[in-house]
Amino acid sequence: MIEVEHLSKLYGSTAAIEDVTFSVEPGEILGFLGPNGAGKTTTMRILSGYLPASRGTAKVAGFEVHENLMAVRQKIGYLPESPPLYPEMTVQGFLNFVAQIKGVNAGDRPNRIQIALEKTGLVEKRKTIIRKLSKGYRQRVGIAQAIVHDPPVIILDEPTVGLDPRQIIEVRNLIKQLASDHTVILSTHILPEVSMTCDRVTIINRGRVVATNTPDQLMAQLNRGAGYELEVEGDWNTIDHCLNMIQAVQSVEQQSTVHQRHRVRVFSEVDLGREIANALVSHGLGLYEMRRVQASLEDVFLKLTTEENPVEESTEAEE
């Protein structure tokens, strides 16, 4: 549904994005994740036809964006970071105005507006003046204006910024519902947003894509150092021997020892809590602490956006 290939945007001699490539399948929610200034808004604006690229191609539903601006704008609903709402209009009046601009014919407009109001939970606020709405409701109006012409693709730029925790949950649920009949790109710098909402995530840093994968596979990519941290009392050779007897244990490391109490790191990619506890207890050793060590999406994000030589894109994770 969306194909972006080798996209670059230069401001003078500075590249806001460079050689950005990713795709989004129909019905998918892709998280476009990156720190401030990474190039998210630039990419979203090129995709929705508001900014020309310096190099590369962006296609939406088979149309090259800049060769088919009008056709692409029909296919895309765009929620910018600060949506331009008209505060003195009612919700319904504003949606009618947007539908008109987007070329929805007069006969279809009432039905399209009703559907947009229902999908965004705004039916009861249809006659309210936008200025009087809370920020959460205004964000819903922003989403309603993006879907009023029934585009197959929705692009949301930081849709939960500035909302309170309850409003954030509501907007995330709304985005998930939209994915049942739209393809969605969600640009964000907020990690939980992608792990809770998105099927796949593209991580962008300093204008370049550094990884694309499912949130789970990204974590698995980093989980090669996963395992357990233990505090065990007893003879070290016995501890070392009985842990190494467990089949899926890759290695065992003694990290420190105080009075026969050893802090131990056990490396394993699979869940072995029960086996470790059984082995130690059956050898008469004292298990004082056991903690699973696992990478979070936050670890992945920090690793990919702070390393000098980040992990190359997607396929590496599947090796």
Ligand X SMILES: Nc1ncnc2c1ncn2[C@@H]1O[C@H](COP(=O)(O)OP(=O)(O)OP(=O)(O)O)[C@@H](O)[C@H]1O
Asked if 74 is part of the footprint of ligand X (rule: CB under 6 A), the reply reads no
Q: Rounded to an integer, what distance in angstroms lies between the CA atom of residue 113 and that of residue 121?
A: 12
Beta-sheet pairing, 29-33 with 200-205 = parallel
Q: Does 13 bind ligand X (CB under 6 A)?
A: no
Nearer to ligand X, 37 or 225 (CB): 37
Q: Does 11 bind ligand X (CB under 6 A)?
A: yes
The site string for ligand X over 28-47 (x = CB under 6 A, - otherwise) reads ------x-xxxxxxx-----
Q: Which residues contact 167 (CB under 8 A, 6 or more apart)?
A: 134, 135, 136, 139, 160
CB of 258 to ligand X, least distance (A): 47
CB of 23 to ligand X, least distance (A): 19
Residues 178-207 that bind ligand X (CB under 6 A): 189
- Minimum CB separation of residue 184 from ligand X in Å reads 17
**Rounded Cα distance, 10 and 210, in Å:** 19
Residue closer to ligand X by CB (options 14, 237) is 14
Cβ nearer to ligand X, comparing 11 with 107: 11
DSSP 315: G
The least CB distance from residue 71 to ligand X, in Å, is: 25
Q: Contact positions toward ligand X, by CB under 6 A?
A: 11, 16, 34, 36-42, 189
